[in-house]
Amino acid sequence: MKEFIITEAQTERAVLVGLITPEQNEQKVNEYLDELAFLAETAGAEPVKRFQQRVPYSHPVTFVGPGKLQEIKTYVVENEIGIVIFDDELSPKQLRNIEKELQVKILDRTSLILDIFASRAQTAYAKTQVELAQYQYMLPRLTRLWTHLERQRGGIGMRGPGETQIETDRRIILTKISKLKEDLQDIDKQMSAQRKNRGKMIRVALVGYTNVGKSTLMNQLSKSEVFAENKLFATLDTTVRKVIVDNLPFLLSDTVGFIRKLPTQLIESFKSTLDEVREADLLLHVVDISHPGFEEQIEVVNKTLAELDDTEKPVIMVFNKIDAFTFVPKEEDDLTPRTRENIDLEELERTWMNKMQDNCIFISAKDRTNIDNLKTLLYNRVKEIHITRFPYNDFLFQQYDEE
Ligand X SMILES: Nc1nc2c(ncn2[C@@H]2O[C@H](COP(=O)(O)OP(=O)(O)OP(=O)(O)O)[C@@H](O)[C@H]2O)c(=O)[nH]1
Question: Contact positions toward ligand X, by CB under 6 A?
Answer: 208, 210-216, 228-230, 232-235, 257, 320-321, 323-324, 364-366
Query: Which is closer to ligand X, CB of 299 or CB of 323?
Result: 323
Residue 64 contact among ligand X, Mg ion, none, beta carbon within 5 to 8 Å by kind = none
Output the smallest distance, CB 39 to ligand X, in A: 11
Residue 212 contact among ligand X, Mg ion, none, beta carbon within 5 to 8 Å by kind = ligand X
Residue 229 contact among ligand X, Mg ion, none, beta carbon within 5 to 8 Å by kind = ligand X
Query: Which is closer to Mg ion, CB of 110 or CB of 216?
Result: 216
- Which residue in the shown chain puts its C-beta closest to ligand X? 257
Output the smallest distance, CB 166 to ligand X, in A: 36
Sign of CA dihedral 209, 367, 39, 226: negative
Which residues, 6+ apart, have CB-to-CB distance to 249 below 8 Å? 201, 242, 243
* DSSP-assigned letter for residue 283: E
d(CA 34, CA 38): 6
> What DSSP line would sit under 49-60, residue for residue?
EEEEEE-SS-BT
* DSSP-assigned letter for residue 272: T
Output the smallest distance, CB 356 to ligand X, in A: 19
Binding site for Mg ion (CB under 5 A): 214-215, 234-235
Query: Which is closer to ligand X, CB of 214 or CB of 381?
Result: 214
Query: Which is closer to ligand X, CB of 324 or CB of 387?
Result: 324
Query: Which is closer to Mg ion, CB of 220 or CB of 235?
Result: 235
Alpha-carbon radius of gyration of the chain: 24
Query: Which is closer to ligand X, CB of 58 or CB of 370?
Result: 370
Output the smallest distance, CB 398 to ligand X, in A: 36
Output the smallest distance, CB 202 to Mg ion, in A: 22
Neighbours of 8 (CB within 10 A): 13
* DSSP-assigned letter for residue 168: H
d(CA 177, CA 257): 25
Output the smallest distance, CB 237 to Mg ion, in A: 10
Which residues, 6+ apart, have CB-to-CB distance to 263 below 8 Å? 89, 110, 113, 114, 133, 137
